[in-house]
Structure 1
Amino acid sequence: MIDSQSPQGSVVIVGAGTQGRRLAYMWSSRGGLVYLVDLNERQLAEGVRYVQQLRAEKEHRANWGDVRTATPDSLEPILLDSWLVVECVPENLPLKQKVLAQLDKLAPESTIIASNSSSYGIGEIIEGLGLKCRKRLLSAHCSIEIMGHPESDPSLVSLLFDQCEKHGFSPFRVRQSSIGYIYNRIWAAIKRETLLALSEGICEPQEIDAIFKDVLKTPKGPCEQMDIVGLDVVLDIEKHYAEARRGLPNEPREYLRKMIERGDLGVKSGQGFYKYKKTHNGYH
């Protein structure tokens, strides 16, 4: 069993993308050992540099733990000493199912397994999978929104919630299964209405962003945010909502499809709702 006060062992993060490296930074903030796992060696190197950069920017000195990198073929020995492993692979359901099945097979039964998925709840991901220990699987989106499934051990949900608080997160408990958790569920409605308004020719992206920022005082508007996420990713998430909930308008998805067909994916392609300049580090 895991010590509910001070769990022993490392934290393993599978996926060294934007969210994975951010989690590596946070989970190493109290001296713990963190493993960042990815197939892409460049992603791993960039992930470590990102952690070091965030540490250098922090005003107060912390008891930083070690962040080590590894590839998936060395997962089994790493997992033996872990109390938590977090899946941070791309938002692709079959891929997430494959990774979680592998983690369930390799990790000791005392290890908590969490999915960082932004739109798929843990119950959806593990449905139909023949897992050996379903009670230790949870959803932990960015370690901010913690959500179990009907078979999750409530004590493990509480343990992860408490440890997230101790490591500098501001967690919220999602009390019922919810596609998109709390924040992304509400954010999805904002994105959907933004796209619907654009599809109806009510206004331009610049106007939506300007009024949104003026009223809510946010640094970026909905169209700017979608460009950053990637319009292909936004469409995938919207399709998932549409499959799960009847009655959602089709126009927002059609609007996105037309943009994607033109090659307009947002920041990563240099063109989305806005045009971006190419630099040596990509588009900005």
Structure 2
Amino acid sequence: MSVPQNHLERPVAVIGAGTLGRRIALMFATRGGAVRIVDPSAETGAAAVEFVHEQLPGVAAAVSGGSPGTAEYVPDQAAAVRGAWLVIEAVPEVLELKKKIFAQLDTQADADAIVSSNSSSYASRLFTGECETKDRMLNTHFYMPPGSTVLDVMSDGHTTTDVLDFVLETFPEYGLHPFLCRKESTGFIFNRIWAAVKREALEVVYEGVSVPEDVDEMFALNFGTKAGPFRLMDQVGLDVVLDIEQHYVQENPNLPRGPVELLREYVDAGKLGVKTGEGFYDDYPEPKQG
């Protein structure tokens, strides 16, 4: 596997136009390049493009050597990844869906393109096993850019050192801060630590010991943060948080079940957080369509 050539002259493709997909697209449009966004919903894809173009001038200005690029919605995945030096999968945390996407990208992406997953809980090994080109596949797990520019980089067990080094050296050009997982880890680095905090916060509320507002206020006062665990979970989306927590429970049956039960109550009620206007808190603006 050779590393990508002339990456600044080639587009980046992002598969998935949701909350993180559009933010990833934004960061890779900060050096004057083109980003192609793929999503089964044209409405969601158009909203992602609008988001990028609205946020891009300010974010690009904050990146050393940055300048606004372009973003476009491309409905056909094969066309979107053609010529791209980097393809990032940012679809929902459904293992079979990720397997399907990576099987397609195995042949669709250019031979020297890096193919990565933004999965927040699954090691890429779980969906690259049947691929022929898994030596150029890996996890690049983003948090919440542009608010957070940190990401985890983790091999699928076959990723070449050249590819890992290229990612670690190149992503900072886009205002990002990659950190290498030195061995496979469910939850990667920071998310693994955050999961323990989040899980115990949920358990405290599930048991009736406290309420989300009090936990968050104590967290903010003790650590000087602007938001506590429940505000942060609302921002991520409680459906996403539930998917992740269920994955942790599958791997470790000894974990408490309270967090899953509490999250399921909210998700079943359609209270997913900021994106639906109500989650643990109900003071969010009405969500925009798309």
Same fold (TM over 0.5): yes
- 1:133-158 deviations in Å (ceiling 9; x for gaps): 11111100127111112211111011
Give, in whole Å, the separation in 2 of the partners of 1:126 and 1:3.
20
CA distance in 1, matches of 2:219, 2:155: 33
d(CA) in 1 for partners of 2:85, 2:287: 39
1:92 maps to what in 2?
94
Q: Deviations over 1:138-197 (max 9, x none)?
A: 100127111112211111011011111111101111111111111111111111101111
1:163 maps to which residue? Answer: 170
Offset of residue 102 of structure 1: 0.7
Q: Mapping of 1:10-49 within 5 angstroms?
A: 10-49=11-50
Aligned match for 1:175, one of 179, 182, 206: 182
**Matched residue type, 2:12:** V
Offset of 1:101 from its aligned partner? Answer: 0.9
Deviations 1:228-271 (A, max 9, x none): 32323222111100111242112222232334444443334444
Partner residue, 2:261: 254
Equivalent residue number for residue 116 of structure 2: 114
Distance 2:287 2:184 in 1: 43
Of residues 61, 64, 67 in structure 1, which corresponds to 2:71?
A: 67
Deviations 1:72-127 (A, max 9, x none): 2xx33443312111111112111111111111121132111000111111112224
**TM-score, normalised via structure 1 length:** 0.89
Report what 1:220 is aligned to: 227
State the distance in 1 between where 2:270 and 2:11 align: 42
Contact 1:101/1:131, CA 8 A, preserved across alignment: yes
Runs of 4 or more off by more than 6 Å in structure 1?
none
User: Aligned partners of 2:166 and 2:182: how far apart in 1?
Assistant: 15
> Are 2:29 and 2:71, in contact at CA under 8 Å, matched by a contact in 1?
yes
**Does the 8 Å CA contact 1:4/1:159 hold for their aligned counterparts?**
no
Instruction: Tell me if structure 2 keeps the 8 A contact 1:2–1:8.
Output: no
Mapping for residues 78-89 of structure 1, pairs under 5 Å? 78-89=80-91
User: Residue 265 of structure 1 corresponds to which residue in structure 2?
Assistant: 272
Q: Say which structure, 1 or 2, has more relative contact order (CA 8 Å, 6+ apart).
A: 2
Go from structure 1 to structure 2 and tell me whether the alpha carbon gap of 1:76 and 1:230 turns closer, same or farther (over 3 Å shift): closer
TM-score by length of 2: 0.87
Deviation string 1:194-216 (CA, Å, 9 cap, x unpaired) is 11111222212111000001111
What is the number of equivalent residue pairs in this alignment? 278
Structure-to-structure mapping, 1:176-195, within 5 angstroms: 176-195=183-202
SS in 2 for 1:171: strand
Is the deviation greater in 18-27 or in 267-276?
267-276
SS at match of 2:177: coil
Q: Give identity over the alignment, percent.
A: 36
Q: Give the RMSD, CA atoms, in angstroms.
A: 2.3
